[in-house]
Amino acid sequence: MFGIKEDLCSIPMPETYFGVDDYAKSTARWCPGCGGHSILSSVQKVCKDMQYPPEKTVFVSGIGCSSRFPHYMGTYGFHGLHGRALPVASGVKFRRPDLNVFVVTGDGDCCSIGAGHWIHAIRYNMKMVVLLFDNSIYGLTKKQTSPTSAMGTISNTHPKGSVLPPINPLQTTLGIANVSFVAQTTDWHPAHLYATIRKAADHPGLAFVRIVQRCPIFVKDLYADQASNPDALVMLSNEDGINLEGSAAKSINRVLEHDHTNLSLARERADISDGIPVGLFYQNTENPSYDDYGAHNLGMTVAEKAQGINELLDNYMS
Ligand code: SF4
């Protein structure tokens, strides 16, 4: 046909390979210098390295600067309601266990209006990666005190400084029943940021990652010193944890041996205050996951459910 020899058509095509561009969509409209940009790059690189098919990958968000994230990914996305990213993501995962599910939420979105959902999503332990962009301020609505704002933070809601102690998202998550993965990283250390999200993607349950994020518009001094100080981060070290190599490893001066199977020790590390602790605080791959007890196909394993969905799709397409 069309002058092409028939036997040429039998040449096997290379398997589909996704490049970083396959996970990119519209230009990110965060402010210049916003930590969101480096997080976006790391997430796209993780998706590429995992070779997640874009049509099998979903980013769910709530409301806030960080929650613009799904618009910038060349995957499926759901930009939802304030604080409601986690229940939407749980529903997606319940119905489509074959999808790779990510949640993007901010400190206002997750730790305030979404706090009830936060507790139960951790307890459900469904397989997904939850990225908490924590810049300690409400950015989209222009500088209100958030649940993670340090005491004394000057904001539009507290012009004389916030008066209550902040939530520590690590401590809170580590205190919830059935917690199975808690890690922390920063937007300004791209190698550690990538390694953390990559580790989270491998976790069989809900992987909660707090990303300490800069907002140069509304809290420009917060983390300004730490971002250029190699002594500011305290890297939790374990051969099965989140590890760096070469120059990336040398860029963090302070290293602390840690056992991420020890929940009490993880809580101690989460209280470190003379630096920003980064790394894998806690992991338990044996915890039960609500994935296995979906309303549909009750009691089937995730693999069995995925198989059932594939058969449904095959029947639909034929
Ligand atoms: Fe980023 Fe802050 Fe700008 Fe929001 S206001 S996009 S958090 S720099």
- At residue 3, the pLDDT reads 45
Residue 249's identity, in one-letter code, is A
Summarised one tens digit per residue, pLDDT across range 177-213 is 999 999 999 999 999 999 999 999 999 999 999 999 9
Q: Which atom of ligand 1 is least distant from the CA of 29?
A: 6
Average pLDDT, the chain: 92
pTM for the full model? 0.90
- Kindly report the protein residue whose alpha carbon is nearest to atom 5 of ligand 1: 139
- At residue 1, the pLDDT reads 38
* Phi, then psi, of 87 in degrees rounded to 5: -65, -35
- Kindly report the protein residue whose alpha carbon is nearest to atom 2 of ligand 1: 215
The rounded distance, in Å, linking the Cα atoms of 272 and 269 is 5
Summarised one tens digit per residue, pLDDT across range 107-131 is 999 999 999 999 999 999 999 999 9
268 Cα distance to chain centroid: 23
Supply angle C-alpha 213, 66, 224, rounded to 5: 20
- At residue 10, the pLDDT reads 61
* Phi, then psi, of 182 in degrees rounded to 5: -135, 125
Contact 145, 83 (CB under 8 A): no
The rounded distance, in Å, linking the Cα atoms of 279 and 270 is 11
CA 217 to ligand 1 center in whole angstroms: 6
Phi-psi region of 291 (alpha: psi -120 to 50; beta: other; left: phi over 0): alpha
Mutate to test the pocket of ligand 1, among 27, 29, 34, 72 (most ligand atoms within 8 A of CB): 34
At 152, list the tokens: 């004394």
Contact 147, 168 (CB under 8 A): no
- At residue 136, the pLDDT reads 97
Task: Give the burial string for 250-276 (b: 16+ CB within 10 Å, else e).
Answer: eebebeeebebeeeeebbebbeeeebb
Contacts of 212 (CB under 8 A, 6+ apart): 134, 184, 185, 186, 187, 223, 276
Length reported for the chain: 318
CA 191 to ligand 1 center in whole angstroms: 22
- At residue 300, the pLDDT reads 58
The residues of the chain scoring below 50 in pLDDT are 1-4
Contact 110, 191 (CB under 8 A): no
Mutate to test the pocket of ligand 1, among 134, 218, 219 (most ligand atoms within 8 A of CB): 218
CA 35 to ligand 1 center in whole angstroms: 8
Q: Which atom of ligand 1 is least distant from the CA of 213?
A: 7
Contact 109, 121 (CB under 8 A): no
CA 135 to ligand 1 center in whole angstroms: 9
Of 52, 22, 209, 248, residue with least CA distance to 130: 209
- At residue 15, the pLDDT reads 77
Lining ligand 1 with CB less than 6 A are: 30-31, 34, 36, 65, 135, 139, 215-218
- Kindly report the protein residue whose alpha carbon is nearest to atom 7 of ligand 1: 215
